[in-house]
């Protein structure tokens, strides 16, 4: 057995052998009984120094395992190929994901159809299309009914709970200019 | 890189269909696994069976081993689980008739183990440990320091080179020569 091969073996068991050399050595190791015995004894030295040996030294284990492995099929784990993505394709994929995410988020937050607080100081002309809550509950229910399945009863409860914001339902009669910006009205926007 | 680098190279080889590479892993870890299992399974013969079973299970599970943990950590868990399963199975096993000798006398349990836990085996274990200790004591200072820093302290070659203020190539050579000297003393006990 060549000394440099043994030195490589010693180096390999410490994980210090270069990638270039280890393949040749492992190849030699698995096929050369002398090298395998060295490998076993070098490790026996290491185990003894680090952890100590078991109470009884039983030496037949590797032979028994090797014999049992004769009946086992060889393992063949397929290598998973790495997909290399070019910059242009990567950008396109990222844009697709971002677009899809934006589209789905739009579904989750249908802002145009949500009830919203509208300042009372909006001019009557600007309020075209908006109606006071007290009059429009059925109308709002019809507007939302197809998509949100909100019942008029639920809407009524909701709106009554918030009627302190509605000048038409409660509170002293104050002009919009006096109340603004604290005086607000809850309405449904009939615009889509 | 540490000695886990050698393990991962051997594991990759087994995963590509080389059974003999697994034999190197068994040779490397046999004593540590047997010692571990012996903490759970007292009978040396049973411990041997359980160790063999653990290595076989490891081999069969190797396709799923992705190297996220060190090979030894992985096989350690397999060995502990196999030993525990063995104990559970043993506790469910009905009591066997007490074995008797040819003259009908009951055999002492300790006598049943005599084939495995012989005083000769204990002696060999002690002798091996003593031989290694003596060999290390008799090494030249630089070799003793190098092998001690590597095997006991677990330092890398680079770290040892720093400690000993010498090139990595010298560290590599000293560790190898120390192993060879110890192996020279050890070999007669294993033949």
Of A143 and B164, the structure prediction assigns the larger pLDDT to: B164
- Judge contact between B150 and B163, C-beta under 8 A: no
Residue B59 structure tokens? 């081999």
Where does residue B173 rank: exposed (0-12), middle (13-18), buried (19+ CB within 10 A)? middle
Q: Which of residues 12-51 of B touch A (CB under 8 A)?
A: 13-24, 26-28, 30-32, 34-35, 38, 44, 47-48, 51
Q: Using 50, 70 and 90 to split pLDDT, how confident is the model at A77?
A: confident
The residue-averaged pLDDT of B37-45 equals 90
pLDDT at site B179: 96
Inter-chain CB pairs, A–B, below 8 Å:
180
Q: Using 50, 70 and 90 to split pLDDT, how confident is the model at B101?
A: very low
Contact state of A75 with B17 under an 8 Å Cβ cutoff:
yes
Q: Cα(B151)–Cα(B179) distance, rounded to whole angstroms?
A: 10
What residues does B100 pair with on adjacent strands? B106
The residue-averaged pLDDT of A99-122 equals 60
Asked whether the predicted pLDDT for residue A115 surpasses 70, the reply is no
Cite the beta strand spans of B28-80 per DSSP E.
Answer: none
Q: pLDDT tens-digit profile of A125-134?
A: 444 445 455 4
Average pLDDT, chain A: 69
pLDDT at site A41: 92
Range scoring the smallest mean pLDDT among A4-8, A188-192, B100-104, B163-167: B100-104
Contact state of A49 with B2 under an 8 Å Cβ cutoff:
no
Contact state of A44 with B31 under an 8 Å Cβ cutoff:
yes
Q: pLDDT tens-digit profile of A89-99?
A: 777 878 888 88
> Predicted ipTM?
0.82
CA distance B61 to chain A (A): 10
Q: What percent of chain B has pLDDT over 90?
A: 59
Q: Which of residues 66-105 of A touch B (CB under 8 A)?
A: 66, 68-69, 72, 74-77
Of A137 and A22, the structure prediction assigns the larger pLDDT to: A22
pLDDT at site A76: 75
Q: Cα(A9)–Cα(A3) distance, rounded to whole angstroms?
A: 10
């Amino acid at each position: 057995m060549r000394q440099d091969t043994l030195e490589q073996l010693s180096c390999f068991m410490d994980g210090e052998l270069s990638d270039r050399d280890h393949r040749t050595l492992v190849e030699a190791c698995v096929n050369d009984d002398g090298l395998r015995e060295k490998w076993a004894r070098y490790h026996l030295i290491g185990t003894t120094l680090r952890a100590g040996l078991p109470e009884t030294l039983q030496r037949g284990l590797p032979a028994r395992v090797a014999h049992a492995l004769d009946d086992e099929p060889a393992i063949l784990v397929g290598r998973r190929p790495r997909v290399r993505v070019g910059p242009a394709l990567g950008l396109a994929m990222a844009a697709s994901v971002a677009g899809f995410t934006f589209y789905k988020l739009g579904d989750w937050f249908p802002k145009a159809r949500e009830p919203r607080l509208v300042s009372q100081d909006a001019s009557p002309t600007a309020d075209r299309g908006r109606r006071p809550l007290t009059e429009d509950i059925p109308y709002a229910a019809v507007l939302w009914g197809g998509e949100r399945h909100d019942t008029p009863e639920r809407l009524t409860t909701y709106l009554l709970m918030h009627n302190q914001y509605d000048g038409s339902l409660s509170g002293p009669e104050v002009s919009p200019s006096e109340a603004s910006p604290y005086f607000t009205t809850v309405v449904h926007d009939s615009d889509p | 890189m540490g000695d886990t680098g050698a393990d991962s190279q051997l594991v990759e080889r087994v995963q590509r269909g080389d059974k003999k590479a697994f034999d190197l892993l068994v040779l490397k870890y046999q004593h540590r696994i047997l010692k571990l299992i012996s903490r759970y399974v007292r009978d040396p013969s049973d411990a041997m069976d359980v160790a063999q079973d653990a290595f076989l299970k490891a081999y069969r599970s190797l396709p799923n081993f992705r190297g996220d943990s060190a090979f030894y950590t992985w096989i350690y868990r397999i060995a502990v689980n196999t030993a525990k399963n063995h104990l559970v199975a043993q506790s469910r096993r009905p009591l066997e008739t007490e074995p008797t000798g040819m003259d009908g006398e009951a055999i002492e349990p300790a006598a049943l183990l005599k084939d495995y836990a012989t005083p000769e085996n204990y002696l060999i274990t002690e002798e091996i440990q003593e031989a290694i200790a003596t060999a290390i004591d008799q090494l030249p200072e630089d070799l003793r320091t190098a092998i001690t820093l590597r095997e006991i302290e677990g330092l890398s070659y680079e770290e040892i080179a720093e400690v000993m203020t010498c090139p990595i190539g010298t560290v590599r050579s000293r560790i190898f020569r120390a192993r060879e000297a110890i192996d020279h003393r050890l070999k007669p006990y294993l033949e």
